[in-house]
Structure 1
């Protein structure tokens, strides 16, 4: 009987600690999402800027370049593996295709803007 009471008290005392652990995990996940979005915006801005330098005369402004950089990264992330294209390892394996994808997306946007 004494053992049952002891385990009940331990479970009762651990309840708030377990609840705090879940809350801390949720806050950590939310913070990780915000940091990931900020990194994506910064890298997208750099990729979009580089693509704008490669494709002359297609400057869409800062936010336009960020959107094109992020879109180009997503485009290259799907397109390159489908085509079986790999470029290096590590950071270069993601950055170079992102710049190429953003440049392709800028060319597509330029063609659409010219036709309208």
Structure 2
């Protein structure tokens, strides 16, 4: 459980840095990071790409998913 929280925080922070904007604060970044891990895992699975293993691999997959979620949230916020 702690592992996924740490991965979510790191992924949320990285996504906030990769996508223009100020991020969503610690709690928002954590939630987006955790959800991004699910989205990233689903995308990798749907494409038949085996996800990298270990903590670095989990952070990469979660960050990819989180970047997608942050981008979608920015698009929705602009409307």
Higher relative CO (Cα under 8 Å, sequence separation at least 6) belongs to: 2
What TM-score range do you get, normalising by the shorter chain? Answer: 0.7 to 0.9
Match of residue 104, structure 1, among 52, 62, 68: 68
1:63-82 matches, cutoff 5 A: 63-82=27-46
Q: What's the Cα RMSD here?
A: 1.6
- Mapped to 1, the partners of 2:48 and 2:54 lie a distance apart of 17
Answer whether contact 2:8 2:34 (CA < 8 A) is retained.
yes
- Alignment partners' CA distance in 1, 2:56 and 2:7: 13
The question of whether the paired residues in 1 share the 8 Å contact of 2:44 and 2:51 is answered with no
Q: Offset at 1:43?
A: 1.9
Contact 2:10 2:59 in 1 (8 A): no
1:39 Cα deviation after fit: 2.9
User: What is the TM-score with the length of structure 2 in the denominator?
Assistant: 0.85
Q: Which residue of 2 aligns with 1:55?
A: 19
Q: Is the 8 A contact 1:59 1:65 kept in 2?
A: yes
C-alpha displacement of 1:56: 1.6
2:27 paired with 1:41: no
Listed as ranges, the gaps of 5+ residues in structure 2 are none
